[in-house]
């Protein structure tokens, strides 16, 4: 297991404009990535903003999937973020974990935001995703999932890094800034959370607050209100040290989680 170099994109998203978003993100990455990276993380629904307009949903061979393949190939790294997918008559808020060779894994958002009527549009997922990169076990999730500690529970070190991609509004930014370090400390794992900035088409403001927190709760990266493409490393040594010298999860309660097919 080696240190992992990660690039985060915190940026403005053009409302329901796939072409403009893909163009803008591509340009921002080109100007912002000045060194080799192994993982690029984009926000939730990075190609449209947080919209329930199903006319914008794409098939799994759509233009955004092709774009993700191109970005992964260009930077020779994994790229991840979520988008609206139509599949077998259902719609999903789906995270894609795209490898440089064009193969990918996927995770469908489990906890749909009922206050935003997300549950009326999307079908919830039922399985977590754990992927590996350079010896790191990584668990990517989407926005509202952050609020549910049972879903992010990390007993037996199932993962080393929790990723949250989001469209999290500024009016609940205090919750965001509180929950991210809580998840890192309680799960003895790094947490990288990537949000958008600016107003969306519903006049909801997003302050970003993208961050990386280590297993001790230390801030490795934090950015508020501004667009930012930033590359940093997460330390394998610090992760191992934290778990070795304070193995409190050995004392954790054990229980079984039963996931229903629908919320």
Helix, strand, or coil here: 203?
Answer: coil
**pLDDT (tens digit per residue) in 16-28:** 999 999 999 999 9
Question: Is-catalytic flag, 109?
Answer: yes
Domain tally, the chain: 1
Which entry of 38, 44, 58, 118 is annotated as an active-site residue?
44
- Assigned domain for 261 exists: no
By DSSP bridging, strand 205-213 and strand 197-199 are antiparallel
- Assigned domain for 259 exists: no
Dmax over Cα atoms in the chain, in whole Å?
52
CA distance 37 to 75: 7
- Which two structure tokens, joined as six digits, stand for 178? 């509180």
- Assigned domain for 146 exists: yes
Question: Is-catalytic flag, 74?
Answer: no
Give, as one character, the DSSP assignment of residue 115.
G
**pLDDT (tens digit per residue) in 232-255:** 999 999 999 999 998 888 878 887
What confidence score (pLDDT) does residue 246 get? 86
**pLDDT (tens digit per residue) in 84-139:** 999 999 999 999 999 999 999 999 999 999 888 899 999 999 999 999 999 999 99
What beta strand segments (E) does the chain contain?
Answer: 4-10, 39-41, 78-87, 90-98, 104-108, 131-133, 136-142, 161-165, 190-194, 197-199, 205-213, 219-224, 228-234
- Assigned domain for 30 exists: yes
**pLDDT (tens digit per residue) in 162-215:** 999 999 999 999 999 999 999 999 999 999 999 999 999 999 999 999 999 999
For 48, other C-beta atoms within 10 Å of its C-beta total 23
Residue-number span of the structural domain to which 135 is assigned: 4-251
Position 1 pLDDT exceeds 90? no
Cα–Cα–Cα angle for 218, 171, 118, nearest 5°?
100
With pLDDT > 70 as the criterion, what percentage of the chain qualifies? Answer: 99
Which entry of 109, 118, 170, 212 is annotated as an active-site residue?
109
- Assigned domain for 222 exists: yes
The confidence band for 224, taking pLDDT boundaries of 50, 70 and 90, is: very high
The mean pLDDT of 206-227, rounded to a whole number, is 97
Which entry of 77, 139, 143, 212 is annotated as an active-site residue?
143
**Which helix (DSSP H) or strand (DSSP E) does residue 258 occupy?**
none
Total count of residues recorded for the chain: 263
Give phi and psi for 56, each to the nearest 5. Answer: -95, -5
Q: Which residues contact 70 (CB under 8 A, 6 or more apart)?
A: none
Q: Do residues 216 and 191 make contact, with C-beta atoms less than 8 angstroms apart?
A: no
**pLDDT (tens digit per residue) in 68-93:** 999 999 999 999 999 999 999 999 99
Give phi and psi for 143, each to the nearest 5. Answer: 45, -100
Question: Is-catalytic flag, 134?
Answer: no
- Assigned domain for 9 exists: yes
The mean pLDDT of 55-64, rounded to a whole number, is 97
pTM over 0.85: yes
CA distance 251 to 249: 5
Q: What is the CATH number of the domain that holds 99?
A: 3.60.110.10
The confidence band for 261, taking pLDDT boundaries of 50, 70 and 90, is: low
- DSSP H stretches of helix in 60-118: 63-75
- Assigned domain for 79 exists: yes
Question: Hey, CA dihedral for 109, 115, 117, 120, is it positive or negative?
Answer: positive
Give the strands of the sheet with 228-234, arranged side by side. 104-108, 90-98, 78-87, 39-41, 4-10, 228-234
Position 54 pLDDT exceeds 60? yes
- Assigned domain for 16 exists: yes
């Amino acid at each position: 297991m080696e240190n992992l170099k990660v690039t985060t994109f915190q940026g403005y998203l053009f409302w329901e404009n796939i072409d403009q978003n893909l163009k803008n993100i591509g340009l921002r990455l080109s100007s912002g990535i000045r060194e080799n990276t192994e993982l690029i993380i984009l926000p939730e629904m990075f190609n449209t903003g947080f919209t329930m307009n199903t006319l914008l949903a794409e098939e799994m061979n759509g233009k955004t999937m092709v774009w993700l393949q191109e970005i992964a190939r260009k930077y020779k790294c994994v790229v991840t973020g979520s988008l609206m997918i139509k599949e077998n008559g259902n719609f999903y808020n789906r995270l894609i974990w795209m490898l440089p060779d064009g193969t990918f894994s996927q995770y469908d958002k489990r906890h749909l935001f009922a206050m935003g009527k997300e549950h009326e549009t999307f079908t919830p997922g039922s399985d977590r995703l754990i992927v590996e990169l350079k010896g790191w076990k990584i668990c990517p999730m989407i926005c509202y999932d952050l609020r549910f500690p049972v879903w992010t529970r990390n007993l037996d070190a199932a993962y080393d890094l929790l990723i949250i991609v989001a469209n999290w509004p500024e009016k609940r930014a205090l919750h965001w800034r509180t929950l991210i370090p809580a998840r890192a400390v309680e799960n003895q794992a790094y947490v990288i959370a990537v949000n958008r900035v600016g107003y969306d088409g519903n006049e909801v403001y997003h302050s970003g607050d993208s961050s990386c927190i280590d297993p001790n709760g230390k801030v490795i990266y934090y950015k508020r209100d501004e667009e930012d493409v930033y590359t940093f490393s997460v330390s394998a040594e610090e992760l191992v040290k934290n778990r070795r010298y304070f193995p409190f999860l050995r004392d954790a309660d054990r229980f079984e989680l039963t996931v229903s097919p629908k919320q």
